[in-house]
Structure 1
Amino acid sequence: MYRRYVNVLRSPPHTDGTPGSTRESRHDHRRLARAARRYPRPGRRRGTVEVYGLKRHFDSGAAHLLGELVTQVHPQFDLEAYVTEVGALVPPLELKDRVRVFSDGLRSRLPEDYPQALATLLSILGEELAEGDGMFTTSWYLMPVARFVEDHGLGHPEISLDAIEQITRRHTGEYAIRPYLDQHHEITMERVRTWAGSPSLNVRRLASEGIRPRLPWARTLHRFVQDPTPVLGVLEALRSDPSPYVRKSVANNLNDIARDHPDAVLDVLERWAAESPTPETEWISRHALRVLVKNGGQRALALSGVTGGEHVRADRLVLSPATIRLGESVTLRAEIRNTDRHAHTVAIDYVVHHVRNNGRTLPKVFKLASVELGPGESRVVEKRHPVREITTRRYYPGTHVIDLQVNGRVVATDEFDLVR
């Protein structure tokens, strides 16, 4: 597969005669972008990178691509040995370990002097990405460069933080920054506060995403789990950010914090609603409160603009079919009605009590709809729920209970049987 991928890179670059010149570098990166488009792009599901699809890209073909790019600026780089080593080591590994193999192979073949080796890698980064464009699709091949800084740069925090900023303009530095927050906390947080005011939306996003206490795929930042005050201070500068890409990160960060410190997040969002009643801040608040709204917290519900859950009734929840097999779907259907003389906007969720392998159950809340009901109005709500295994969830045979809840209050229950 990778032959047609790397053949594009094997054609000689157009240069102005100066090795490593800007014209040559820009041309090489244009050729790299065209080559990357020929290579099957990592898949997405619901806006999230599919880990296994991305994992498969880090093979000997990708090693050839990245290694040849390094060779163009550092001719002493042993490309053949690099490709052979990566190809031998990565097949049994998962994504993060594959990226580590790529990174360690770069470290052993670049100059021993870290600043010199880092400068070599920074020279291959290419042009800055547009908003949210291609972090894990177009520029996925830069993951080992970020990992290089993460694993090998802690002895040089200042230039490594400079590098993380440059990397995040083309890919992301949200994982590379984590050990610096642990081992060089004050220096790194000072840099993060500066990034929050950057003209680059990619860098502003890093200021939030890099300090998320529970960032997926990353080490937990336990100091921020215990005390999120420094994180909340950074987010103040981003509460009305014009970029949806940045605002989504801010909302996800607050949602992380709300799992451990719900009152602290509610205090912040209530103050923001009073001080900064903009559409941007309202969007952040609504998306940051996902977990708290699902749990039925009254302050969270009020901030989200939902009311009157106590006046809403459900005329029986019906699940069909009553028995399914793995890979099939169950349909939820219920009629809800507002018994009040006033209109209300309500948040409707459903809770699946998944049967575990020990016979116990584990509840998981899913969003169904937000509905505005006039005085005395009834509405039929329906949702098809697929029962299929994903990387984070396995299903076991047995009776699965589903609760329908309105504004966090259970109003109806039914069940279905999952059989082999």
Structure 2
Amino acid sequence: MAEPFKNMYNKQLFDLFTKDLKLIIPDLDTRTFVSQVMDKEWENRELKQRTAHIATVLKRFLPADYKDAMAKILELLDHIEPRYPHCFKIDDTKFGLLLEYGGILDNYVEQYGLDDYETSVKAIERITQFTSCEFVTHQFIVKYPDAMMAQMLIWSKHAHWGVRRLASEGCRPRLPWAMALPSLKANPSPIIPILENLKNDPARFVRLSVANNLNDIAKDNPEVVIDLAKRWQGESEEVDWIIKHGCRTLLKQGNPEVMELFGLGYTKYITIKDFQIATPKVEVGSSLEFSFNLLSNSNKETKIRLEYSLYYQKANGTLSKKVCKISEKDYAANSTTPITRKHSFKVVTTRKLHPGLHQVAVIINGNEFAKHDFELVE
């Protein structure tokens, strides 16, 4: 089993952190600091609870005035930056340490800086160059919507790619594990100029954030994303990748306009034959196995997005649909392609499994074929 992320905050990390804190707090009592952090409730805290707790303890050792405390934190970053000239690069061996420090420092801003906009915005701009402050910006967008979105637009032209990434990531309407942004879910228009500035960004992680932001917007305002995709399509290979990845939810939904946009609308000569479920009873912990033949009766090569939908049994007896991709490619004219697939029913924390009737169906270019039953058993 993988090591839980929360365990990156450990005694070894605190030995390093307190050593660096002594650069700005010379009289820091490191033993007291670590003992207050790793208190009797420490093992019970999850990741976000740990970072919030560390920030709370850190406040006891920094100046009481928020402006003075943030000046110390920025001084700390100035001290450690020369050691990490390539900070915030995934391939940097020291990236993990910077990520852990950043998780503490951005939480400090989140907890104590919401009433000091000017000081906090300057701090966020600096801290995000060592980690990523999107959870913090959500708090500020809710309280200062106009000012903060104007700042995000400015950041979209920043020299540092981590700040440019924050300009997009920090205003995603449906950012996972973050405070919701209901105003941007209802009206995403303030986001669009930011994404326009970033769609040709040289940094891959910035472009990925643009795609993820588009996908968020598509869940509430599909017409906005479809319009952008039509306008952006063909600008460059990188922009085409952004719109394709940004339309992934609409593709899974089989949106006809999006299917046509990506050349996936024509299925007149495509059929499936010989659908078989090899495991009509699937035990929890094992896998569903099924197969079928994909027939292309067209006289020319055909582009096909091949998916399947899994209908899970819910606690109330209804079924919940999940779409899983198999492939997207060109199939030869007048061809028959055998397809086999396995779908795991191992127990995971993200989905509770309920024994009983389940269904599976093949999807071709957004069109779902007849459902087939199988049973999940203990």
Answer whether TM exceeds 0.5 for this pair: yes
- Once residues 88 and 109 of structure 2 are traced to their aligned partners in structure 1, the CA distance between those partners, rounded to angstroms, is 23
Q: Hey, what's the Cα distance between the residues in 1 that align with 2:324 and 2:274?
A: 19
Letter in 1 for 2:8: H
- Give me the whole-angstrom Cα distance separating, in 2, the residues matched to 1:130 and 1:145: 15
- 1:170 maps to which residue? 130
Correspondences of 1:170-319 after superposition (within 5 Å):
170-273=130-233, 277-319=235-277
- Listed one character per residue, the Cα deviations across residues 156-198 of structure 1 (whole Å, up to 9, x for unaligned) are 2222112212211111111111111122223322221111112
1:113 to 60, 65, 73: 65
Residues 1:304 and 1:123: Cα distance change in structure 2 (over 3 Å): farther
Separation in structure 1 between the aligned mates of residue 244 and residue 139 of structure 2, nearest angstrom: 31
State the Cα distance separating 1:342 from its structure 2 match. Answer: 3.2
Match of 1:321 among 279, 291, 312: 279
8 Å Cα contact 1:314-1:412 kept in structure 2: no
SS of alignment partner, residue 229 of structure 1: coil
Does the Cα contact within 8 Å between 1:323 and 1:418 map onto a contact in 2? yes
Write the deviation string for residues 114-155 of structure 1: whole angstroms up to 9, x where unpaired: 122112222333335254457983433120111001111123
Aligned to 1:144: 104
Task: State the identity %.
Answer: 29
Q: Residues of 2 paired with 1:257 and 1:237: CA distance? A: 17
CA distance in 1, matches of 2:65, 2:91: 33
2:44 is equivalent to residue 92 of structure 1: yes
Contact in 2 for aligned 1:86/1:102 (Cα 8 Å): yes
CA distance in 2, matches of 1:280, 1:80: 50
CA contact (8 A) 1:132 1:245 kept: no
- Structure 1 residue 266, shift from structure 2 partner: 0.3
Q: Distance in 2 between matches of 1:136 and 1:400?
A: 44
CA contact (8 A) 2:279 2:290 kept: no
Q: TM-score, normalised by structure 2?
A: 0.91
TM norm structure 1: 0.82
1:321 deviation in Å? Answer: 2.4
Aligned residue among 64, 70, 76 for 2:21? 70
Alignment check: 8 A CA contact 2:278 2:290 kept:
yes
Secondary structure at the aligned position of 1:402 is classed as: strand
Whether contact under 8 Å (1:286, 1:303) holds in the other structure is no
Match of 1:25 in 2: none
> Which residue in 1 is equivalent to 2:74?
122
> Which amino acid in the other structure matches residue 231 of structure 1?
I
| 2:88–2:98 contact (8 Å) kept in structure 1 | no
Asked if 1 retains the 8 angstrom alpha-carbon contact of 2:215 and 2:249, the reply is: yes
The alpha-carbon deviation at position 90 of structure 1 amounts to 2.4
The answer (yes or no) to whether the contact 2:99–2:130 under 8 Å persists in 1 is: no
- Aligned equivalents of 1:137 and 1:335: distance in 2? 47
Spell out, residue by residue over 1:24-49, the C-alpha distance to the aligned partner (whole angstroms, 9 max, x if none): xxxxxxxxxxxxxxxxxx95xxxxxx
Q: Is the 8 A contact 2:87 2:95 kept in 1?
A: no
Question: Equivalences for 1:407-418 in 2 at 5 Å?
Answer: 407-418=365-376
Contact 1:209 1:249 in 2 (8 A): yes
Alpha-carbon distance in 2 for matches of 1:367, 1:74:
53
**Which AA in structure 2 matches 1:400?**
H
SS of the residue 1:68 aligns to: helix
State the AA in 2 paired with 1:416: F
1:132 touches 1:202 (CA, 8 Å); kept in 2?
Answer: no
3-state SS of the aligned residue for 2:69?
helix
- Output the amino acid matched with 2:98: S
Corresponding position of 1:57: 8
1:342 equivalenced with 2:300 (yes/no): yes
Partners of 1:281 and 1:335 in 2: how far apart?
A: 35
RMSD (Å), alpha carbons: 2.1
Change over 3 Å in CA distance of 1:191–1:401 after alignment to 2: same
Distance 1:198 1:170 in 2: 15
- Shift of the 192–409 alpha-carbon distance from structure 1 to 2, 3 Å rule, reads same
- Of 255-264 and 185-194, more deviation after overlay is shown by 185-194
Report the secondary structure of 2:223's partner residue. Answer: helix
Q: Map 1:5-44; keep pairs closer than 5 Å.
A: none
Q: Relative to structure 2, which stretch is displaced further, 109-118 or 301-310?
A: 301-310
Determine the structure 2 residue equivalent to 1:387. Answer: 345
Which whole-Å CA distance do the structure 2 matches of 1:366 and 1:56 have between them? Answer: 32
Q: Kindly state the Cα deviation for residue 59 of structure 1 after the two structures are TM-superposed.
A: 4.3
* SS in structure 2 at match of 1:375: coil
Shift of 1:412: 4.2
Q: In the alignment, is the contact (CA less than 8 A) between 1:330 and 1:386 conserved in 2?
A: yes
Distance across 2 between alignment mates of 1:130 and 1:56 = 20
Q: 1:376 aligns with which of 315, 334, 340?
A: 334
Aligned with residue 360 of structure 1, among 300, 318, 321: 318
Question: Could you say what secondary structure the match of 1:155 adopts?
Answer: coil
Please tell me the residue identity of whatever aligns with 2:142: D
Partner Cα distance (1:320, 1:202) in 2: 49
Distance 1:240 1:320 in 2: 47
Q: Is residue 317–residue 404 contact of structure 1 (8 Å, CA) maintained in 2?
A: no
Which one-letter code corresponds to 2:68 in the other structure? Answer: Q
C-alpha displacement at 1:267, in angstroms?
0.8
SS of equivalent to 2:184: helix
Which residue identity is paired with 1:362? S
Structure 1 unaligned spans of 5+ = 1-41, 44-51
Whether the 8 Å CA contact 1:131–1:245 is kept in 2: the answer is: no
Partners of 2:90 and 2:191 lie apart in 1 by: 22
Q: Distance in 2 between matches of 1:366 and 1:263?
A: 24
Q: Which amino acid aligns with 1:339?
A: N
3-state DSSP class of the match of 2:250? helix
